[in-house]
Structure 1
């Protein structure tokens, strides 16, 4: 069947060209940029060592570089209600998950080494109505199923509930075309919905940028509603539902053409008047159709503390637990599988000035790969991050 292409694929060469242009812009003096133009760089270099258990001992060093340009209509003497955003992503280094054999992805920077356009979208804000519309290549997880306090952690599950992430949607490390509409009122109540190409990238071509909506890709649809209140004692509660159509194989090899799931997320921030330092608590719950997916439910929770060390108010410490449960459909066809894999993470982000942070990190992975034959793993390491 002839494939219908809605957008031509970009090559790795074009991605690299954009990457170099943005690098030059970032190196320029920020003061020369006009109001409404923001150029930023974020580079994170990780190093982890699997010191005990897991598939094999050894180290890995994933890295990720984001070069981002955001331009709003103030740059053209406008209101600022129109925004164009471009994010070029460079990935490098070696795998640590290959050493451990974990399912959840203990390092959220790890992916195939390449350079690609990660986001390229346009957004219009109807500010009087509390409404925004975003169209283009975009990261699902930038708006949906996300919590600020959980963003401290390096394990991938805290960033995106793996019961959703397992379907291969538009998010790190490869995003695709989508449209999102979001509404929020003055009380913080919000509702948003998104429609995305159901199959990011191009099968068999993991390098460079490939943006095309092909026949057979299917569609991923998500709805989320909740309340989000900012401030030192702010909070967020949200519930979401997703549906994906398009052909795929379930864990037993049966051909399916639809998939669905639900998730809940919440966090509460507390000012320093409670314990003497600001802290936050969060929780994540997700579930997917047990007959069609590897993971049928996920539970995550954690806490973060700011300024635990006197004289260092910008440092943040955190402890989190992420547990993904394996479906019976998967376990029936996987010899030696256990019920779940659980990750425990203890981390501390030390901030030095406006542009550098160092984050020591310890993770204990219980039943890596959800396999009874693999010993629990201890993984230690750190992330160094430069932002500009």
Structure 2
């Protein structure tokens, strides 16, 4: 924990004297998943996974902020050992460890039209945020797998980065981000924190255009890496590890601003360089809305996530399927202001595209405890 203490000291010293006076809020959220692969997959059976988020946010004067986030992961291995899928049926599935996930400073300039951040950052906290897909537990509905497979600065290992948002008006925003090309230390995935920048590892850049409209939004992003990567066909290395994705969110029924009763839908399409990556394209879609509880606050929905495997990747193993498709039905209900329960069912067709792995049926029960609300 001493790493977090020193980073907080550096962040405070970096802010101007007039900005240091402010307030700090803390939170702790425990997420626990009981998952059971009832049929198919690599090895049917049950797993228990847990994730503890410890966060602190300091807000000072003159638009300055500092953010700290320590992440604890427990359990893990559900996709690798039981399901065999490439997308990740559980978005908290990670190698067990304690990690410093975020430690960065943020500045909002006068007028609020320009925002800049620098430090240890989660790229997915700013880019590829699928606003209308937050209900679902499959990792593809958190960040597109065609991008996630390249190892950007996202859960559970982040890296140094900087991000700037230019808010042109109340409907149009441009964002630019530049991050470490290889976050953390691949040789030591359980390290609490590992910061290293090198020309060989290069950088990961991403740009985003966002336009909002009544009841929805549209996003178009392009990302890429400056380093060269091994080709899947064995023909040396190549640059051009890049991709593009688009998101469309919309309101299907109800008042757009009535989050408790409106029915929302979304579509996400993405592509990546298939010569360098296993997945060359992705498509996801879904719909969610209010549940049937009289007290309200509950949500339910259905989503589909499908990846297409590139030809060079499929040529490595004869008989591989071209697609992996995940169907998900989820229901979330707050039991108290601090506790939420969420049963979730997923059906994974062609897990990992492997011909020896049958369609997997996965049942999960998630519980979320927000200690700040107790």
TM-score by length of 1: 0.86
Determine the structure 1 residue equivalent to 2:77: 95
Determine the structure 1 residue equivalent to 2:53: 66
Paired residues of 2:229 and 2:241 also in contact (CA < 8 A)? no
Aligned counterparts of 1:359 and 1:50: Cα–Cα separation in 2: 17
Q: 1:141 to 1:51 in 2, by over 3 A?
A: same
Paired residues of 1:147 and 1:266 also in contact (CA < 8 A)? no
Determine the structure 2 residue equivalent to 1:113: 96
Aligned counterparts of 1:146 and 1:57: Cα–Cα separation in 2: 32
| Mean Cα deviation higher: 220-229 or 134-143 | 220-229
Which of the residues 244, 264, 267 maps onto 2:246? 264
Determine the structure 1 residue equivalent to 2:331: 348
Which SS does the other structure have where 1:149 is aligned?
helix
Determine the structure 2 residue equivalent to 1:297: 281
Paired residues of 1:261 and 1:287 also in contact (CA < 8 A)? yes
Deviations 1:291-337 (CA, angstroms, capped at 9, x unpaired)? 2211110000001112x214232111111000000000111112321
Note if 1:363 corresponds to 2:363: no
Superposition misfits of 4+ residues, deviation over 6 angstroms: none
Deviations 1:6-61 (CA, angstroms, capped at 9, x unpaired)? xxxxxxx645x76xx9xxxxxxxxxxxx9632111111000111111111111122
Which of the residues 198, 223, 226 maps onto 1:242? 223
Aligned counterparts of 1:139 and 1:179: Cα–Cα separation in 2: 10
Which of the residues 116, 124, 139 maps onto 1:141? 124
Which SS does the other structure have where 2:274 is aligned?
coil
Q: 1:127: Cα distance to partner?
A: 4.0
Deviations 1:121-166 (CA, angstroms, capped at 9, x unpaired)? 1110014151100101101111111122211111000000011111
Paired residues of 2:73 and 2:97 also in contact (CA < 8 A)? yes
Q: 1:320 to 1:201 in 2, by over 3 A?
A: same
Determine the structure 1 residue equivalent to 2:296: 313
Which SS does the other structure have where 1:44 is aligned?
strand
Aligned counterparts of 1:242 and 1:187: Cα–Cα separation in 2: 25
Q: 1:90: Cα distance to partner?
A: 0.4
Which SS does the other structure have where 1:53 is aligned?
strand
Paired residues of 1:61 and 1:95 also in contact (CA < 8 A)? no
Q: 1:309 to 1:255 in 2, by over 3 A?
A: same
Determine the structure 1 residue equivalent to 2:189: 206
Structure 2's unaligned 5+ residue stretches are: 9-20
Deviations 1:169-219 (CA, angstroms, capped at 9, x unpaired)? 100010000011101133320100001110011121011211221331111
Aligned counterparts of 1:330 and 1:192: Cα–Cα separation in 2: 32
Aligned counterparts of 1:111 and 1:273: Cα–Cα separation in 2: 38
Which SS does the other structure have where 1:134 is aligned?
strand
Instruction: Calculate the aligned-residue CA RMSD, in Å.
Output: 2.1
Q: 1:94 to 1:162 in 2, by over 3 A?
A: closer
Q: 1:264: Cα distance to partner?
A: 0.2
Q: 1:270: Cα distance to partner?
A: 5.3
| Mean Cα deviation higher: 252-261 or 103-112 | 252-261
| Mean Cα deviation higher: 141-150 or 358-367 | 141-150
Which SS does the other structure have where 1:205 is aligned?
coil
Determine the structure 2 residue equivalent to 1:192: 175
Which SS does the other structure have where 2:185 is aligned?
coil
Aligned counterparts of 1:95 and 1:235: Cα–Cα separation in 2: 36
Paired residues of 2:341 and 2:366 also in contact (CA < 8 A)? yes
Paired residues of 2:241 and 2:273 also in contact (CA < 8 A)? yes
Q: 1:205 to 1:130 in 2, by over 3 A?
A: same
Which SS does the other structure have where 1:354 is aligned?
coil
TM-score by length of 2: 0.89
Determine the structure 1 residue equivalent to 2:307: 324
Paired residues of 2:100 and 2:193 also in contact (CA < 8 A)? yes
Structure 1's unaligned 5+ residue stretches are: 1-12, 22-33
Aligned counterparts of 2:320 and 2:92: Cα–Cα separation in 1: 27
Alignment of 1:221-232 (within 5 A): 221-228=205-212
Q: 1:251: Cα distance to partner?
A: 2.1
Determine the structure 2 residue equivalent to 1:215: 199
Aligned counterparts of 2:294 and 2:286: Cα–Cα separation in 1: 24
Which SS does the other structure have where 2:296 is aligned?
coil
